[in-house]
A = this chain, B = another copy of it.
Amino acid sequence: METKEILEKVRSGEMSVEEAEGFFRRKPFEDLGYAKLDSHRRIRSGAAEVVFCQGKDDSHLTGIFERIMENEGEALGTRASALQADLVRARFPEASYDPVSRILAIEKPGKPLRGLVSVCSGGTADIPVAEEAARTAEFLGSRVERIYDVGISGLHRLLSHVDRIQQANCVIAVAGMEGALASVIGGLVDKPVIAVPTSVGYGASFQGLSALLTMINSCSNGVATVNIDNGFGAGYIASQINLAICGTDHNQQ
């Protein structure tokens, strides 16, 4: 019910002052911030309801999945263990689980994927994070191309894929150790690059700090960075950008 509607009911006597006052007292923010976002609601809710599974207890987890499925008809879980996946699949047999990215998803069949997000990763050890990014973007409705194992220690591998990367609306660059992949891609293509440092490495990589600093200091234009190992975060914002671009461009789908 909109502010105006309430006021009109107060005026006409359909609603008492006390009822109206209660309304403004109880839900003022919905009138303000939340309700105004209605047109974006599904995407937003979907994301707001992504389940960070790690550490959740069993009954809690299934309960959350049930509630989301009721509201949304689809659900995304990140950092799920194989056991958690079994648990959720016992209730929702259509759930799929990827042990590499630990993504546990229940998707509506036949969901169209639009636009293009390119997910590039440095080494094979970065693939779990890259897959988390890729599958998140796919769940949210983006088409994804995976370009893995193109680390800069053998630059020709990356260079031979520049054409394909350039066709994406947004690029995700996933790398550990020295994390230079994002800068190199940023210098080769003219698309926004979302950089994901990973905790892959040893010694002075300090669990991803070195890669994070490298990416934050990128001398290439068009690079912004998310948290260490945060494949989900990268997939989310890259998909957001991709869908905004192709959502308004029906030829590109």
- Is there a chain B Cβ closer than 8 Å to A96's Cβ? no
User: Is there contact, CB below 8 Å, between B245 and A227?
Assistant: no
Given A218-B177, A224-B224: A156 and B213 interface contact (C-beta under 8 Å): no
- Is there a chain B Cβ closer than 8 Å to A131's Cβ? no
Which B residues are CB-close (under 8 A) to A183?
A: 152-153, 178, 180
Q: How many copies does the complex hold?
A: 8
User: Is there contact, CB below 8 Å, between A202 and B229?
Assistant: yes
User: Is there contact, CB below 8 Å, between B217 and A205?
Assistant: yes
- Is there a chain B Cβ closer than 8 Å to A191's Cβ? yes
Which B residues are CB-close (under 8 A) to A156?
A: 29-30, 32-34
Which B residues are CB-close (under 8 A) to A123?
A: 219
User: Is there contact, CB below 8 Å, between A216 and B225?
Assistant: yes
Which B residues are CB-close (under 8 A) to A36?
A: 162-163, 166
| A181 shortest CB reach to chain B, Å | 9
Q: Cα distance A233–B156 when bound, in Å?
A: 21
Given A179-B214, A221-B47, A222-B240: A3 and B32 interface contact (C-beta under 8 Å): no
- Is there a chain B Cβ closer than 8 Å to A109's Cβ? no
- Interface of chain A residues 1 through 50 with chain B (CB within 8 A): 3-4, 7-8, 10-11, 13, 17, 20-21, 24-34, 36-37, 40, 43-44, 47-48, 50
Nearest first, the 5 A-B pairs at minimum CB distance are A203-B228, A180-B180, A248-B249, A29-B156, A224-B224
